[in-house]
Amino acid sequence: MSVKALFDLTGRVALVTGASRGLGLQMAEALGEMGCKLAICARKAAELAEAQARLEAQGFEVLAVPCDLSQAANVAPLVDAVLERFGTIDILVNNAGATWGAPTANYPDEAWRKVMTLNVDAPFYLSREVGRRVMIPAGRGKIINLASIAGLRGNPPGMQTIAYNTSKAALINFTRALAAEWGEFGINVNAICPGFFPSKMANALIEKFADSLMARTPLRRIGGDEDLKGAVVFLASDAARHITGQAIAIDGGSSII
């Protein structure tokens, strides 16, 4: 098989959560460009419709499903909708996520639960549903979890996101444990650990910590609009068929110092 064919995703179906903006939309664009049919979800229907229009304008086939993934009951209907439209799911990108900043000593219970529910519970419920109904019977599939460099370590001084760091570390080991268990079914499970990328979630932090973030990043840049595309396409493709259980930092090198 040619290298181009190894990377080709023509006709594959990708479900990308939280793809109405930010990193999810960037990854959906990349998967669409490589040939995927796209299913995207997020809570706000209007912003999701805008994302759908933007993706369709690039010639991609797109199903948009407004869905609050913090409610476990919404997971099965989301999968139903994708299967009804496309018949299968080859690639699941667990991207929807949330954070909350507060000193740990005063961290609100509801903030802890909100972050853990979306960042840990939802990928578990959705992976279980897609695995059980589609990928295990098919004997193939790619699951890509959006973790973070925050899951690899603590934070620079002044950044107080205890639930977020905890949730992303959990997601990284969820990735390893699921990869170990589902490898025999031909399912690859990997995590991407972005550094700082401009987005609704990260903009305030990037602004506040701009100088120290840059000083702590060997490549002296923050993430950009194209910087996740190669990794998500690679992990979703046959080119990565022998890679599973890995957490790949895409962070300008900030996690190595």
Q: What's the CA angle centered on 192, arms 99 and 65, to 5 degrees?
A: 65
> Which CB, 20 or 244, lies closer to ligand NAP?
20
**Distance (Å, whole) CA 14 – CA 73:** 21
Assess 98 for contact with ligand NAP (CB under 6 A). yes
Assess 121 for contact with ligand NAP (CB under 6 A). no
How far is residue 32 CA from its own chain's centroid?
15
> Which CB, 220 or 241, lies closer to ligand NAP?
220
Stretch that binds ligand NAP, among 82-90, 96-104, 154-162, 234-242 (CB under 6 A): 96-104
Under DSSP, the state recorded for 103 is: -
**Distance (Å, whole) CA 62 – CA 51:** 10
How near is the Cβ of 87 to ligand NAP at its closest, in Å? 23
List, edge to edge, every strand of the sheet that includes 247-250. Answer: 62-66, 37-42, 13-17, 91-94, 141-146, 187-194, 247-250
How near is the Cβ of 150 to ligand NAP at its closest, in Å? 7
With CB under 6 A as the contact rule, the residue among 96, 134, 135, 179 that binds ligand NAP is 96
Question: Sign (positive/negative) of CA torsion 191, 41, 110, 212?
Answer: positive
Assess 62 for contact with ligand NAP (CB under 6 A). no
- The H or E element that residue 55 is part of is helix 45-57
Choose, from 60, 86, 164, 174, the residue flagged as catalytic: 164
Question: Number of residues in contact with ligand NAP, rule: CB under 6 A?
Answer: 30
With CB under 6 A as the contact rule, the residue among 81, 116, 152, 201 that binds ligand NAP is 201
Instruction: Give catalytic status of residue 125 as yes or no.
Output: no
Residues tagged active-site: 164
Binding region for ligand NAP (CB under 6 A): 17-18, 20-24, 41-44, 47, 67-70, 95-98, 118, 146, 148, 194, 196-197, 199-202
